[in-house]
Structure 1
Amino acid sequence: MNKIKVLTGLFLILTSFTFTSCEIEPIDPNLNPDDFGGCDAPTALVASEFNNSTVTLTWSAGNDETSWTVEYGIEGFVLGTGTTVSTSNPTVIITGLNSNNSYSFYVKSDCSATLSSSWVGPVTVDAVQVNPNCPNPGGLTAVRDSGVNTNVNLLWIAGGTETGWDIQFGISGFALGTGTIVSSNNTTATVTGIAAASSYDFYVRAKCSATDTSGWIGPVNVAAVGTVPVVTPTYMNATVNGQAFTGMKPFLYTFTGLKAKLSSSDPSKVLWIQGDSNPLDPTLANNVEINIRINEAFWAPGTYTLYGAFEAPEVAAEVDLIISTPTNPIATIEIESSGTITITEFNVTTKRIKGTFSFSYMLDDGTNPPTGPFQVTNGSFDFEMEDEVFN
């Protein structure tokens, strides 16, 4: 009996030591509390106003996470059906938006491959208001004069029948309304007296009457002399039958990137530039796709005739237009008459091509007689070219 008591006592003492040892065990500093189910949501989500077709989002980390997912779409879209972007920076620039639409944005933290926070948002950016009585001009370009680097040459496309425009400029980042304003009665202008050592932003607007003006378009940046130019690709923009499309990307851009390419269907060297208003789903109703092909002999700045697709392979450039309508996934487009294309930059060093275009067309959706003519105006493009173009 005494042996039993002694053994029982020893057992109780050892058990006491064991439990006491567990209670004072230090916490492993390498343990991640997120592994036990927590992932703090980000805070202070803010969206900028439209800058052409771009919106900038910023937020604060919820904890120590370094990865986030942004989802966005037309205002009122259902979470899970929008476009998603992953980022390792609490600031992200969303491009290729249509400033005629209002967009909503959400963000969530990604704490691990399987653990994320709740969504924060939405924050909404309202559509840019366009004056229907005075359309915005388009295709604004600005470059320092090659001979006098304190002069800047500007070029743009009229939005309607206006014959007067205002140009506003200032040191990069200036607030609209605080810059210097000069006027022009042509769609070109030269601004003089620009400091060579500073970079500048330029805007332009139409003056339809003494009291009626369009909105400002821009900014277009002109870098300081001796610095690397600030490149803000616009890809392709156009107004098709009165509806503006901005930031159009190639139809297969998720697989082939955003570069202008050589056309594989042509026997000679032909540069192919493509813009699609919804390249993720080009069969949607009212989707627009524009293809421009430029023959090698005309790969230089200048204004050329733009013909209907495949009508004259020996000419400077050809265009075809595809429009998806509610009754026909791919409506037939007939180019009504030749248009024009202006190449404002063909740079073999930076491998970029920029320019403007316009043309008219007829629409035949197979259910009614062809209608039209309709106009494509304010066309512009700004693309990097693939290396094979120069081989």
Structure 2
Amino acid sequence: MMPLSWPLLSAYFLVGMLAIAFGKCPTQCRCTSLEVICSCKSGDSFILSEIPANHFTLSISNCKKVRIHGTPFNRGSFDRFVIQDSSDVYIADISFFGVILIRRLKFSNIANLTLGSLYNLKTDIFEMDNVTIAVLDRGVIPGIAELKEVRITDSHIGVIRTGALHFQHESLVDIIDTSMDHMEKNSTCIDQVQTFTIRNCHISSLDEDAINLMHVGKVVLSGTSIERLNEGSFLADSVGEMIIVRNVFSRVGSNVVEPAFVIENNQFSCDCNLLWLYQDSGYHKLDKFFNSTCLAPETLAGISLKDVTPLITVMDQCLGFKAIDEKSYTTRNGYAQRNTTVRALSVNSGENLGSSSAMFVTIFMFGFLRFACI
């Protein structure tokens, strides 16, 4: 028998290595030397419990239901792991132990995403775009390692449970054009992050200590509407720069905001929940608040905070707010205009909190950190 030539031996060796590397290609997927591409062409369900080794990209798309469980990620590294254009995605508690790195983890265009805990996840970029999540439970992302960027855009999150999110040592955490129904106490911990941004979002309510900021270089809250904040919704320790601009706050109340923070051009509901700003001499000297305007009621909409004052009875009960010069304002299309002869008055609607109880409704509390991030 003639010995095999080197080219033929090399070919056999390559075929053998590819067979070992590929393993079995999952159903509804196409596997190449670099990619595993899965697509449900008829909108069927897709289940993934194991993927072939030594692939660099995994994408799943156009499925009615996606179920990922077991230990599909247990070796090697990935350039991208993407799930997109699917109706219902469920990822059970899974461990990424043994995975060197997933450079980009992205969820996009998902009508209903349920996430279990993602243990030992190491990724450069974590993205969610146009995703709906009913509940983020405790420990979903207990501390993503080696992460450079977190981007959540055009999404909706119902409830963020205590201990759900813990971002640490990141360069950027960016939440944009996203609505959140409720954030529980200690639900979000931002620890040793260069920049944390919430921009053009809507938040219905936050519990005490909902967002914890530790050793953050820059925090920006901009273009966001917040309906109700409970006492101490934001806690900060060693925040380099805090910018709160062009936001809308429906329920606000007293607390200590460090003078170095930038608070400009916001809108507030001018009712008795804002009484603290006019009673506390320390706040009264903070002209930065007076660069903002009243959002409601219509009779005061558009008037600067420096041009309104609370109405207090002899029994120290707050009745609402009025313009300082009662005959200098009227409303046109819901916004106040000067130089008229109509009295502008805000009567506190529904709840008469009184001067003492109004002091406990808060907008922000930035103080010494008194908790351990979960």
TM-score (ref. length: structure 1): 0.23
Give the greater-gyration-radius structure (CA): 1
TM-score (ref. length: structure 2): 0.24
